[in-house]
Amino acid sequence: MKKIIFDCDNTMGVFGRDVDDGLTFLYLLGNKNIEILGVTNTFGNSNIDTVFRATSKLFNDLNLKNIPLLKGASSPQNRTSEASRFLVEMINKYPKEITILATGSLTNIYGAYKEDKNFFEKVKNIVIMGGILEPLILNGKKMDELNLSSDNEAAYHVLNSKANITLISAQLCLQALFSKEESNRILKEKKPIFEYIRNMTLPWYSFIQIKYGIEGFHNWDIVAAVFITNPELFDKNIVKASSTIDDLKTGFINIVDNNNSYELNIPTVIKDKEKFNNLIFDSWNNINY
């Protein structure tokens, strides 16, 4: 069993806000090889209060009583929080055993380091969804990077930490379009959890269709979760990067080897998209709701 702490900016159920953190949590919840030690909320898709309310509702909807949910800091000005303290506590309890899946700002993780300077040495690995390698274009429209840029200073220090980091870039996530075919598959599934997913995602599906003119939505964060459970579906691509704090204001990952560079694994390919999607549906199907 892989021990996971999910650090996220979930807004599933909030009108006009992304659903991918919530779908990612459902994937982790239904995966039989994952032990969720806790969920820590951070800002990004929205402010921390909105994120925490949305995640608390998700927990209540699913009647989850045994997974800790911790609220993170509200801004980069004060990174100490319930979430950062929980991260320190768990990493010290299970040194070199925990994977942190980070799909929002990296404020909580940097906050944990500020409390425990050996924090990064005790983490097994950190899998981050965020960052762009080039301008992010969706159906001809430019999108802003959100996760690393939400707290660019925290992102800089986490990326420079020498922890074992895999970065799932926005460019890779463009390969994970939940198209009309996947949406129709959700419609056809009979279990109650799929009805819940339908109700939570259809407004977002319509929102994206209107805003970007595409049928479907990119399931950004779930790519990072599938990497944790099935890394064989991705290529290994170790690069030297040296993004500055200013670079990270836009989430830009500068792939260049110099005196300030650090190593990241930045996969470029989802090798089998049919298997990728089947893994997601199989995990969702395991949830009793």
> Rounded to an integer, what is the distance from CA 150 to the centroid of its chain?
14
Return the pLDDT at 169.
97
pTM of the model: 0.96
Query: Three-class SS string for the chain?
Result: CEEEEEEECCCCCCCCCCCHHHHHHHHHHHCCCEEEEEEEECCCCCCHHHHHHHHHHHHHHCCCCCCCEEECCCCCCCCCCHHHHHHHHHHHHCCCCEEEEECCCCHHHHHHHHHCCCHHHHCCEEEEECCECCCEEECCEEECCCHHHHCHHHHHHHHCCCCCEEEECHHHHCCCEEEHHHHHHHHHCCCHHHHHHHHHHHHHHHHHHHHHCCCEEECHHHHHHHHHHCHHHECCCEEEECCCCCHHHCCECCCCCCCCCEEEECCCCECCHHHHHHHHHHHHHCCCC
* Calpha distance 184→177 (Å, rounded): 13
Q: Confirm if 145 and 114 have CB atoms less than 8 A apart.
A: no
Per-residue model confidence (pLDDT) at position 127: 98
* Structural domains of the chain in order of their starting residue, each with its CATH number: 2-285 (3.90.245.10)
For helices 107-115 and 82-93, the axis angle rounded to 10 degrees is 60
Rg (alpha carbons) of the chain, rounded to whole number: 18
Beta bridge partners of 262: 241
pLDDT value of position 206: 85
Could you report the average pLDDT of every consecutive run of 10 residues in the chain (289 residues)? Answer: 97 93 98 98 97 98 97 95 98 98 98 98 98 90 92 98 97 90 86 94 85 85 98 97 96 92 96 95 95
Q: How many CB atoms lie within 10 A of CB 188?
A: 8
